[in-house]
Amino acid sequence: TVSIKPSVTLKHSWSEIFRGETVTLRCEIRGGGGTEWTYEWSPVGLNYSPTSSEYKINKAHSGTFSCRGKGNHQFTQWTHYSLTVAANKPKASLTVKDTIIPVGGSVALTCSVDIGEGWKIYWYRNSYGTARDIINNKPDGFLSVSEGGVYSCRGGRGGPVFYTETSTEVIINETGQLVPVLSVSPSWLNPGVSVTLSCEGLEHQPAGWRFFWYKAVPDPSVSYYRFELLPGTSGTEQNFTINGSTHTAGFVCRAGRGEPVNYTDYSEPKFIWSAGQFVSLCAGNKQEP
Q: Which residues does 92 contact at the CB level (< 8 Å), separation at least 6? A: 111, 112, 113, 121, 153, 154, 155, 164, 165, 166, 167
- The answer to whether the CB of 238 falls within 8 A of the CB of 199 is yes
Of residues 154, 140, 157, the one with CA closest to residue 16: 157
Of residues 268, 283, 140, the one with CA closest to residue 225: 283
Q: What is the CATH number of the domain that holds 66?
A: 2.60.40.10
Give the number of residues written for the chain: 289
Whether 113 maps to a domain, the answer reads yes
Whether 279 maps to a domain, the answer reads no
Amino acid at residue number 142: F
Q: What is the pLDDT of residue 286?
A: 41
Question: In which residue ranges of the chain is pLDDT below 70?
Answer: 45-50, 127-133, 135-139, 191-192, 244-246, 275-289
DSSP state of 144: E
Whether 29 maps to a domain, the answer reads yes
Q: What is the pLDDT of residue 245?
A: 67
pTM comes to: 0.71
Query: Residues 40, 64: one domain?
Result: yes
Q: What is the pLDDT of residue 138?
A: 65
| Boundary-marking domain end, from 131, 146, 175 | 175
Query: Residues 106, 55: one domain?
Result: no
Whether 126 maps to a domain, the answer reads yes
Q: What is the pLDDT of residue 4?
A: 92
pLDDT tens digit sequence for 87-113 = 889 999 999 998 889 888 899 999 999
Query: Residues 106, 156: one domain?
Result: yes
| Boundary-marking domain end, from 29, 55, 83 | 83
* Sheet containing strand 7-10, strands side by side: 7-10, 23-28, 54-57
C-alpha span between 225 and 247 (Å, rounded): 17
Q: What is the pLDDT of residue 136?
A: 63
Q: What is the pLDDT of residue 283?
A: 38
Q: What is the pLDDT of residue 47?
A: 53
| Number of domains present in the structure of the chain | 3
| Boundary-marking domain end, from 61, 83, 105 | 83
- The answer to whether the CB of 4 falls within 8 A of the CB of 27 is no
Query: Residues 182, 266: one domain?
Result: yes
Query: Residues 186, 265: one domain?
Result: yes
Q: What is the pLDDT of residue 211?
A: 93
Query: Residues 214, 225: one domain?
Result: yes
Query: Residues 199, 241: one domain?
Result: yes
Whether 282 maps to a domain, the answer reads no
Whether 288 maps to a domain, the answer reads no
Domain range enclosing 56 = 7-83
Whether 287 maps to a domain, the answer reads no
Whether 1 maps to a domain, the answer reads no
Query: Residues 168, 182: one domain?
Result: no
pLDDT tens digit sequence for 264-285 = 999 999 988 876 544 444 333 4
Query: Residues 237, 153: one domain?
Result: no
- The answer to whether the CB of 67 falls within 8 A of the CB of 55 is yes
Of residues 256, 181, 162, the one with CA closest to residue 211: 256
Q: What is the pLDDT of residue 128?
A: 57
